[in-house]
Structure formats: C-alpha cells, structure tokens
C-alpha cells in the first residue's frame, strides 16, 4: 500500500504535516477529511522521499541530493552514529514487546506512533504494510538496508525459523549496544589528539600568515643581513601568505582521493588498512578493535542459529578492515573444503596467536560461541588500555612538536634583533 506525505489544515486553523498509508491519494484525502483535516498538499513518498511515476506507472524516487546520499550510504561500511542509536533503541523495544506477548503488527504500530521524524515513521509504515501482506519480518527489514544490514536481517530470519524472534532481537540489541560502546571508546580516545593537532595547525597558520610577515618586514627594513633561521622563516611565511589556497586545495584533494579509494574497496583499501595496522600506537588499537568486532559478531550470529559459513560471510562485511575481512573470507573457503575454524584462522597471520588457540579450545570443548565472547571481552579491556597508552604517547609528542615550531619562530625573530643591538 502506498504511503503519502501530506500537509493539511486542522479545525483550529493550524497547519499539520504527516504521513498516511492508503491505496490512492483520493483515499488518503477522504480518510484525512474524516479526521477533520483539510488537505492542501499530498504527495506519495518512498522511505521518506518524494516519488514520481513514470509513463509505465513505475515509482521513481525524486531528488538528486537524496539519491546521492543513498548511494553514499550504500557504499559506506557502517551506519552513522545517529542511525546506530535509532536501530539499537528500536530493536530493544521490539524485543521487549514481543517477549511480553504483543503481536508483531501492533509492536510495529507502536514504533510508528513514537517515531521521532517523518522518515522513520514512513519506514515503519512500510515495514508494517509488508508484514500485513504476509511477508516475514526479515524480508520487511531487508527492504531498508540503510538501517538493517545483512547481519540484522539474517539473524531475524534465523529467529523466525526457530520461533525465537524476541530472543534474537534482545541479542541484537545487546550487540548494537556493544558496537556503540566500542565506537565511543575509540572516538573518545582520538578526540583529544585530533583537537590538539587541529588547534596547533590553526595557531601556526595564523602566526605564519599574519603575525610573522609584519615582524620580518620590519627586520628586513633595517638592511642588515638576516640569519639563516630568519631567512627560512621568511620563505615559509611567504609560502603560507601567497600559496595558502594551493595548500588548502592540495589537502582537500588528497583527502578526497583517499576517501574515494577507501570507499571503492579493492587493492587501494587493502593497502590503506594494512598501512593503518602498521602505524605505531594507532595500529594496535585498530587491530584490537577489529578482532573484538570479529569475535562478537561471529559469536552473535552463531548463537542466533545462523550457519558458520554464512556467519563468516556476514562477519567479513561487518568487520570494517580489509585485512581481517580477507582473512575471514579465507577461513570461510577452507571451512567449505572441510577444515575446522582454528587452523585456517592461525594460518592467515592476521589474528594474534592467542585468538587461534582460544578458538581451537572452543571448538574442541563445543563452546565456540562462549569462547568467542570471552575473546571479545578480553580485547575490549585491552582496547581501553591501548587507547590510554596511545593518548599518553601522543600527548607529549604533540606538545614537544608544537614547542619546537613555536621555539624556532621565536629564535628566528629574536636573532636579528640581537644583531641590531650589537651593531649599535
């Protein structure tokens, strides 16, 4: 059933906007009229977007900007923080309602009533309509890949097959909460160093572009031969003053190329990910984060009843690091050939040795899922230690680096002043 976005005037004269599902725009107007709403504008939507119909009646999404956003979201390797918060909250609420015996359709209706924005409301209306037409919850969620990825959909499908959708939803909510916590840990650890670097760059740029040129101009007017340090400072200052736009364009171009190469995947992304893992301090945090995500995702899928081969395929897409992702694909291929999990995992060399031994013990004891959870928990603790160590290492390096730059500027300015004083 199509969904329409409307603008109407209520009995009090106030303007109201919202969405409503109906067979046609005329039916939607009639339903709104019964609610004493006079419709001034109504348009069909798809996932919160305006749509038009072609000559053949095919629905087409309108808006070049929205199509660009959707295409970018599809290329993206993970959800935004806002979307992750939304899906985590909705998943836990659905699981709680289903566990309480509330029918699925009514639970989704509750999500519609409390939707915080029009796009989310439209999405849940489409999900409810798909369920009412006889579709499964997994298929309905699969129509919205921006919010519900392969991991989410396959876990729900496994839960439907075993009759434990509420349990799977609760497990998914815990997993998403873990993802949020892990992301916040890493982002929180990197926030201070990044702010220090940006602040230092801004201070040095202002000094070299505005303050230093005035001082060096006064020194050059004296006619004295300038020390080499001052000459270097004048040259660098001229570059900042006259070529700042070229420097800004170069930085923007390099950032754009790196971002496009990373999003495109292939050998370029593999090289970037491998280089990141080799970086001092930062590489250790990235590796531990990837291993923790691999272990938690794989364990969650196995506990939900998803087969090991399919679980590894999904995990490889979720792990967000090409080195670990390629290793996961290798493990999956070897399992399809009849091997166990631990042997090819050790052979990849991408995982720490302790992970391979713990997985081997888990397989032999028949408690692989629990062992994977222990691995993830252990690495979560190590991530906290590694981030603290990284911050403690980067902070003095940045302070010393900034002190050297500022100190050089001061020395380059003071030396010619001292020379002038000696001559007099």
pLDDT, tens only, 278-287: 888 788 888 9
**What pLDDT was estimated at residue 152?**
87
For residue 362, tell me if it sits in a domain. yes
CA dist 365 and 359 (Å) reads 10
For residue 341, tell me if it sits in a domain. yes
Count the Cβ atoms, other than its own, within 10 Å of residue 251: 10
Domain containing 344: what range?
298-376
**What pLDDT was estimated at residue 78?**
56
- Examine the domain organization and report whether 41 and 84 are in the same domain: no
Among 17, 41, 62, where does a domain finish? 62
Place of tokens 């994977």: 372
Mean pLDDT (whole number) for 297-308? 87
Residue 34's pLDDT band, with cuts at 50, 70 and 90, is: confident
Q: Is the pLDDT of residue 310 over 60?
A: yes
Among 177, 210, 233, where does a domain finish? 177
Residue 2's pLDDT band, with cuts at 50, 70 and 90, is: low
Q: Is the pLDDT of residue 421 over 80?
A: no
- Examine the domain organization and report whether 103 and 168 are in the same domain: yes
**What pLDDT was estimated at residue 1?**
58
Distance between alpha carbon 423 and the CA centroid of its chain, in Å?
A: 62
For residue 360, tell me if it sits in a domain. yes
Residue 219's pLDDT band, with cuts at 50, 70 and 90, is: confident
- What is the domain count for the chain? 3
Instruction: Calculate Rg over the CA atoms of the chain.
Output: 29
For residue 144, tell me if it sits in a domain. yes
Comparing 73-82, 203-212, 263-272, 373-382, the range with the smallest average pLDDT is 73-82
Comparing 39-43, 109-113, 248-252, the range with the smallest average pLDDT is 39-43
Q: How many residues does the chain have?
A: 424
- Examine the domain organization and report whether 88 and 43 are in the same domain: no
Q: Which two tokens stand for residue 311?
A: 């679980």
DSSP 43-60: EEEETTEEEEE-TT--EE
φ, ψ dihedrals at 164, nearest 5°: -120, 50
Residue 32's pLDDT band, with cuts at 50, 70 and 90, is: confident
**What pLDDT was estimated at residue 422?**
61
- Examine the domain organization and report whether 56 and 117 are in the same domain: no
Among 20, 44, 62, where does a domain finish? 62
Residue 56's pLDDT band, with cuts at 50, 70 and 90, is: very low
For residue 41, tell me if it sits in a domain. yes
């Amino acid at each position: 059933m199509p969904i329409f976005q409307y603008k109407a005037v209520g009995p009090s004269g106030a303007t109201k906007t919202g969405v409503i599902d109906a067979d046609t725009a005329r039916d939607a107007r009639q339903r709104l009229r019964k609610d004493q709403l006079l419709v001034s504008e109504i348009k069909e939507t798809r996932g919160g977007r305006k749509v038009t119909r072609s000559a053949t009646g095919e629905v087409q999404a309108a808006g070049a900007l929205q199509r660009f956003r959707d295409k970018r979201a599809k290329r993206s390797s993970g959800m935004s923080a806002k979307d992750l918060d939304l899906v985590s909250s909705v998943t836990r609420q659905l699981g709680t309602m289903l566990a309480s015996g509330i029918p699925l359709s009514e639970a989704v209706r509750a999500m519609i009533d409390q939707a915080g924005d029009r796009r989310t409301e439209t999405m849940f209306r489409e999900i409810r309509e798909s369920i009412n037409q006889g579709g499964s919850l997994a298929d309905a969620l699969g129509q919205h890949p921006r919010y519900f990825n392969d991991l989410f959909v396959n876990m729900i499908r496994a839960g439907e097959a075993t009759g434990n959708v509420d349990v799977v939803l609760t497990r998914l909510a815990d997993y998403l909460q873990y993802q949020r916590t892990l992301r916040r840990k890493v982002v929180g650890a990197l926030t201070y160093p990044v702010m220090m670097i940006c602040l230092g760059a801004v201070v040095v740029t202002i000094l070299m572009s505005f303050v230093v040129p005035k001082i060096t101009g006064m020194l050059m007017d004296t006619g004295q031969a300038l020390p080499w340090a001052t000459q270097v400072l004048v040259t660098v200052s001229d570059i900042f003053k006259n070529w700042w736009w070229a420097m800004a364009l170069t930085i923007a171009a390099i950032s754009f190329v790196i971002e496009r190469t990373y999003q495109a995947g292939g050998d370029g992304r593999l090289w970037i990910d491998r280089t990141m893992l080799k970086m001092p301090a930062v590489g250790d945090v990235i590796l531990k984060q990837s291993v923790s995500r691999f272990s938690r995702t794989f364990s969650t899928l196995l506990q939900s009843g998803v087969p090991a081969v399919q679980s590894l395929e999904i995990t490889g897409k979720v792990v967000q690091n090409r080195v670990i992702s390629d290793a996961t694909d290798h493990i999956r291929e070897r399992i399809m050939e009849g091997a166990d999990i631990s042997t090819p995992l050790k052979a990849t060399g991408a995982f720490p040795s302790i992970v391979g031994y713990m997985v081997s013990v888990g397989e032999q004891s028949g408690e692989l899922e629990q062992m994977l959870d222990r691995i993830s928990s252990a690495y979560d603790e190590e991530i906290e230690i590694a981030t603290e160590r990284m911050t403690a290492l980067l902070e003095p390096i940045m302070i010393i680096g900034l002190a050297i730059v500022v100190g050089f500027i001061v020395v380059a300015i003071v030396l010619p002043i001292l020379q002038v004083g000696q001559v007099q």
